[in-house]
């Protein structure tokens, strides 16, 4: 990267940057970030701008966001089957939400780049051995050996390459006919079908098929329904990686992350005076900030002023992760502060991260706690007349046993059966669908009380994440 320009987007000098790896080989780091700075962008400027528009619609209550995927993607786990499983789960959930609540759903994967994890502790001890914690595949390996746990900058290159491969599948899936609404039945294929949620989904799919047949009979052109819009996101944690993947758009002269459509700042790195907020203030993608229980109204205003000084709807989202016990007490003051100061953020609920506990040495979450936090989120917005903008979830299409409860009543004894997450517990396919049906009901109620008009906020197929377009306008900083 041209050092003169890296300064434009970097902004780290002298600022505290939390949760950064101590790369043992600085020469290798420099070589690899230079390679990344010269690599092709993964996403395009107009895709990022389109997502900002859609998030703006969600902030106004004209759309609803579904953001979800793995807690920690892994290189080995980024197989075609796994990627398609997560995509199909998200599409099914989006269908349930759209159908149940007549609201367009903006689909954003925690995918194609979610390879870095902030940790509570820098080290992990097992018996007499202490090693660096696992910080995600972009940094080190999960295996508990000194070799695997040593941060290796070559992993940044693999993170980029794996993101590109995943994104390729995402684009093929979204545009190549697999996401065609005429194939809603097939989205259920390969998943367990003996669950209450699957049976409910089958009935819904049948209903959609009949509606499409009716539309065809009426002469409605269904071509728009063949493809879908799908966006990617990850936590913009590793500044070495994120800065290297920033490009300047020739047309507007603005810097964009070319690594994902949306980046978020995590709970552990949201210091308003820190390097993450500084870097995020320099990119034009839609951005989000996770808000945990200690967030103050003044901090909230600092994020708004630093990241969205022009108050552009869709530029800034707040992802609230307070925990089921506290959301009803802690969220109102933040929503009121934002509303009172003209902050036009899109509010999302992350009902996962405030509800984690450990049982038998495994981290888990109760489905009912997750649901209760979502309920609390809706209640607060309803009471204040503001808009619940969407969901941020850790989920997978696999039949894992990581979270408790749901329609199939997963118990503590089940946790050992198929616990595959590299970090935090995810909702499995059936729990994800269960949640979607329940949230659709909440959305329906919210729509009835606010007179939500989904209107033409989002046009299916209006702008597909596709190759081509303005990538020619992206130049390296």
Ligand X SMILES: C=C(OP(=O)(O)O)C(=O)O
Shortest CB 116 distance to ligand E4P, Å: 9
Q: Does 321 bind ligand X (CB under 6 A)?
A: yes
Tell me the per-residue interface mask from 337 to 356 with ligand E4P, x by CB under 6 A, - otherwise. ----------------x---
Shortest CB 88 distance to ligand E4P, Å: 23
Q: Does 120 bind ligand E4P (CB under 6 A)?
A: yes
Shortest CB 322 distance to ligand X, Å: 10
Q: Does 103 bind ligand E4P (CB under 6 A)?
A: no
Figure out which of the listed residues 56, 61, 118, 388 binds ligand X, where binding follows CB under 6 A: 118
Shortest CB 207 distance to ligand X, Å: 34
Q: Which residue is nearest to ligand E4P (CB)?
A: 120
Name which of residues 53 to 72 contact ligand X (CB under 6 A). 71
Shortest CB 266 distance to ligand X, Å: 3
Q: Does 358 bind ligand E4P (CB under 6 A)?
A: no
Name which of residues 67 to 96 contact ligand X (CB under 6 A). 71
Figure out which of the listed residues 56, 132, 259, 266 binds ligand X, where binding follows CB under 6 A: 266
The annotation places the binding site for Mn(2+) at 71, 353, 394, 424
Shortest CB 195 distance to ligand X, Å: 26
Figure out which of the listed residues 247, 261, 290, 315 binds ligand X, where binding follows CB under 6 A: 290
Task: Show the tokens assigned to 366.
Answer: 């109760």
Figure out which of the listed residues 119, 182, 226, 306 binds ligand E4P, where binding follows CB under 6 A: 119
Whichever of 117 and 270 has its CB closer to ligand E4P, that residue is 117
SS (H, E, C) the chain: CCHHHHHHHHCCCCCCCCCCCCCCCHHHHHHHHHHHHCCCCCCCHHHHHHHHHHHHHHHCCCCEEEEEECCCCCCCCCCHHHHHHHHHHHHHHHHHHHHHHCCCEEEEECCCCCCCCCCCCCEEEECCEEEECCCCCCCCCCCCCHHHHCCCCHHHHHHHHHHHHHHHHHHHHHHCCCCCHHHCCHHHCCCCCCCHHHHHHHHHHHHHHHHHHHHHHCCCCCHHHHCCCCEEEEECCCHHHHHHCEEEECCCCCEEECCCCEEEECHHHCCCCCHHHHHHHCCCCCEEEEECCCCCHHHHHHHHHHHCCCCCCCCEEEEECCCCCCHHHHHHHHHHHHHHCCCCCEEEECCCCCCCEEECCEEECEHHHHHHHHHHHHHHHHHHCCCCCEEEEEECCCCCCCCEECCCCECHHHCCCCCCCCCCCCECHHHHHHHHHHHHHHHHHHHHHHCCCCCCCCCCCCCCCCCCCHHHHEECC
The option from ligand E4P, ligand X, none interacting with 290 (CB < 5 to 8 A, set by class) reads ligand X
Tell me how many residues contact ligand X (CB under 6 A). 10
Whichever of 33 and 114 has its CB closer to ligand X, that residue is 114
The option from ligand E4P, ligand X, none interacting with 427 (CB < 5 to 8 A, set by class) reads none
Shortest CB 291 distance to ligand X, Å: 8
Q: Which residues contact 42 (CB under 8 A, 6 or more apart)?
A: 112, 113, 160, 163, 164, 167, 232, 245, 258, 259, 260
Figure out which of the listed residues 73, 424, 434, 471 binds ligand E4P, where binding follows CB under 6 A: 424
Whichever of 61 and 272 has its CB closer to ligand X, that residue is 272
Cα distances (angstroms) measured from residue 8 to each of 12, 156, 160, 363: 10, 22, 22, 40
Shortest CB 7 distance to ligand X, Å: 28
The annotation places the binding site at 71, 110, 267-268, 290, 321, 353, 394, 424
The option from ligand X, ligand E4P, none interacting with 358 (CB < 5 to 8 A, set by class) reads none
Q: Does 71 bind ligand E4P (CB under 6 A)?
A: yes
Name which of residues 260 to 319 contact ligand E4P (CB under 6 A). none
The residue range among 54-62, 144-152, 164-172, 260-268 that interacts with ligand X, by the rule CB under 6 A, is 260-268
Name which of residues 328 to 387 contact ligand X (CB under 6 A). 350, 353
Q: Does 149 bind ligand E4P (CB under 6 A)?
A: no
Question: Which residues form the interface with ligand X (CB under 6 A)?
Answer: 71, 118, 235, 266-268, 290, 321, 350, 353
- Binding site residues, ligand E4P, CB under 6 A: 71, 117-120, 353, 423-424
């Amino acid at each position: 990267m041209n050092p003169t320009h890296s300064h434009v987007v970097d902004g780290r000098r002298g600022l505290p940057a939390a949760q950064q790896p101590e790369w043992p080989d600085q020469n290798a780091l420099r070589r690899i970030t230079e390679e990344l700075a010269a690599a092709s962008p993964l996403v395009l400027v107009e895709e990022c701008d389109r997502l900002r528009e859609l998030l703006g619609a969600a902030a106004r209550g004209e759309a609803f966001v579904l953001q979800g995927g793995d807690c920690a993607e892994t290189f080995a786990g980024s197989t075609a089957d796994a990627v398609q499983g997560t995509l199909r789960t998200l599409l099914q959930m989006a269908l349930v939400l759209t159908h149940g609540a007549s609201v367009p759903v903006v689909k954003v994967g925690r995918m194609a780049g979610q390879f870095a994890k902030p940790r509570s502790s820098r080290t992990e001890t097992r018996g007499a051995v202490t090693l660096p914690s696992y910080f995600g595949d972009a940094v080190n390996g999960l295996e508990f050996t000194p070799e695997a746990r040593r941060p290796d900058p070559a992993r940044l290159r693999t993170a980029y390459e794996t993101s590109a491969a995943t994104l390729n599948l995402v684009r093929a899936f979204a545009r190549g006919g697999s996401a065609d609404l005429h194939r809603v039945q097939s989205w259920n294929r390969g998943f367990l079908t003996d669950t209450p949620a699957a049976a409910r989904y089958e009935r819904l799919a049948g209903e959609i098929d009949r509606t499409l047949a009716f539309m065809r009979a009426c002469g409605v052109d269904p071509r728009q329904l063949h493809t879908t819009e799908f966006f990617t996101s990850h936590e913009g944690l590793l500044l070495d990686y994120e800065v290297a993947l920033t490009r300047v758009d020739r047309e507007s002269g603005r810097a964009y992350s070319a690594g994902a459509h949306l980046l978020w700042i995590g709970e552990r790195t949201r210091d308003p005076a820190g390097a993450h907020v500084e870097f995020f203030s320099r990119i034009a993608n839609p951005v989000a900030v996770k808000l945990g229980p200690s967030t103050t109204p003044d901090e909230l205003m600092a994020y708004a002023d630093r990241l969205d000084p022009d108050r552009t709807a869709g530029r800034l989202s707040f992802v609230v992760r307070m925990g089921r016990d506290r959301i009803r007490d802690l969220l109102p003051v933040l929503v009121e502060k934002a509303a009172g100061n003209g902050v036009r953020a899109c509010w999302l609920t992350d009902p996962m991260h405030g509800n984690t506990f450990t049982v038998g040495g495994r981290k888990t979450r109760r489905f009912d706690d997750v649901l209760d936090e979502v309920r609390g989120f809706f209640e607060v917005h309803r009471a204040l007349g503001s808009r619940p903008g969407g969901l941020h979830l850790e989920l997978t299409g696999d039949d894992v046993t990581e979270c408790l409860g749901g329609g199939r009543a997963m118990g503590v004894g089940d946790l050992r059966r198929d616990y595959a997450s590299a970090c935090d517990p995810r909702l499995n396919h059936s729990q994800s669908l269960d949640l979607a049906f329940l949230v659709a009901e909440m959305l329906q109620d919210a729509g009835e009380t606010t007179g939500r008009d989904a209107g033409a906020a989002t046009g299916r197929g209006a702008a597909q994440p596709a190759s081509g377009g303005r990538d020619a306008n992206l130049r390296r900083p």
